[in-house]
A and B are shown apart, each in its own frame.
Chain A
Amino acid sequence: MVLPMIVALSRDAIAIVPHDQFEGALSVGATKWQVLRKVVLPGARTGIVGAVTLATARALGETVAVAMVIGLNPLFPPSLFSTASTLASTIALQFQDATPLQVAALGALAVILMTLTAIVNWFGRRLVRGAAFRAGVV
């Protein structure tokens, strides 16, 4: 689900690298791939890292799609292939029949989730905005 987001944001990060530099590298006899590897991608690096960070923040908060397939495992999953829980999916699946104590516990989970996504989002946005700023776009 986060793949399209990464594609779109990375595309923006790469498009922001000035065309001038692309031409400058070509003008000394570089091939397209050489230009991409040594000039464009290093230039887009910050933006791409920002893109991945933002996508991670989104993934952390993804609730329903995860809840439908992950099951509900209160224990630490022994392997990647066993049932597990995420913050969001646990809240989603347990809230309905929760006792007041459980509701309070789920509330605590919600606070953790909120803080976590807020921090990761903040980082991601700073990176993306920093890259855009340096390229003179923002």
Chain B
Amino acid sequence: MSAVSGVYRRFAVKLAQHASWLLSGAQSPWAAAMRRELEYIDDDSAALRWALGCVAASYRARLADWLRFDARAWRRVATSAVMLLIGLTLLENAGGQTQPPRPRFDETVCDLPSVSPEVRPRLRCGTVSVPRDYENPSAGRFKLAVVIIKSEQQPSWPEPVVYINGGPGAPLTAYAAYQARTPYAPLRDLILVDQRGTGRSEPSICPDQERRLRDATFAIAATNTDEEMARRQAAYLACRDQAIGRGLDLKDFGTRVTVEDFESVRQALRVERWNVYGESYGTAVATTLVALHPNSVRSVVLDSIYPPDPVLPRSLIVSDAREAFFAHCARDKLCLTSFPDLAETYRDTLVRLDQNPLTVTLPPQMRHGEDRITITKSLFEVGLSNLLYDPNAYPALPRIIQSVHDGDAQGLAQELGTVLASQAAAAEAINRATQAAVECRDRPHFHGPLTVAASVLDRAQLYGVCDRWSEGGPPPLVPVGTRVPVLVLAGQFDPVTRPAASRHVAELIGGSARFVEFPLIGHNVRHFSACGTRIAADFIDHPAQTLDTSCTDRVAPIHFQPRHDTP
């Protein structure tokens, strides 16, 4: 709120109080009625106009009394006249101000995939228009797609949940049907937003280049050569040039901007406070939102934190997660029997693939032109790190490693058809240009050089892209010392953040944060853990209460699949 609009609001309140004072006796409920409507008027100029009308209405109602000419009535007339004059002057000036329009939710038809007839009546879809650049409101606007999923139980509890998904660059509203089936706090409404540059939200940074960006990134994973690094850089530069040619400013991205977008959506939906659920990259948005707009957040869940810089190299974090998984296998009787030294088998597999890559026929759902894929050392390393995200892949993971080690193309093809297909679909959905636009603003380390010893897991990230994409922007924030209740959820095998690093963030936040680690889970705890789902829901509904986290001690074991018979 600007200083001028703040003056309008304060004066409007004064005028309304004055109007109430003018009315008394049987008419006092009308005075209260007019005054209270003010609280429901969001626009400050409109509020001032309303209050002026209230004074006028009160005058008319009291006219008969005033005609009796008693001294007190005349004093009231004189005071009212002065206040009206000041109010009218302010309103006159209001016309000359260029106030930014208050955010508004423009409802549209819900055109979303896979929505069942039962869920459809619970959905409200629309857009919220936001400034491209919050510091320069005249620089144009982007429309953001917003979906509200009403709670099955109506009336729903106040203070809805806003879910902030990961990526950056991943769509969200297209998955509204799934979100409706798995609510975060079932008694509350759920708000979904496609962050700028993702899903159905504007802008599209370089629509013609998206496939090229994806292919270039995949090529680094597949071959890990300097030529492919240079080719990817060229692809991103072409995207950047197209974006600039389309009138976009790549400084209009980053978590700090996204946070203001969420704040605009909150205001547009007339939500006073909301419960924020951030997942993966969404945790960076969530922590920054709490740091910058603490009064609009009732509680926050940080599921699988993606902390701000400085962060360890990705290859080290993945290596930790992988070793933790191998150690777990060594403690499991069935896994140990089938795969006596999984860690060593993995290392030996890398050596073998470096000498002899393995060619596998792809299952039909994974074919994009090519019907075969060559598993190189680097692709295997990247693929395995992706499998650590997903606990559904854990039972098959030792067997996948063994199949590749043994050169068992047929056995591996079966696994690819089941566990890898969903990973590939998720990777396809990410908007790579938006991912770069956000990460290059947020993460100084992508502007720096790669170490000589960097593995493909580091090289597949945005090194070599960001320094020519955009300059670094203001970073995401951690709300150190906030009073907002925070729940941090971390998975034991998370390949993005070590549980210890998540715990460190919780400690930085301070006394309002609680930390819960989930055994046998990777990235995105709630998505894969019924226990996590329940703990998060309890926390959202009762953030001040002691949490019952005992279900983390009763996690079902991984039912490892035995190795394939020798081919």
Do these two chains interact?
no
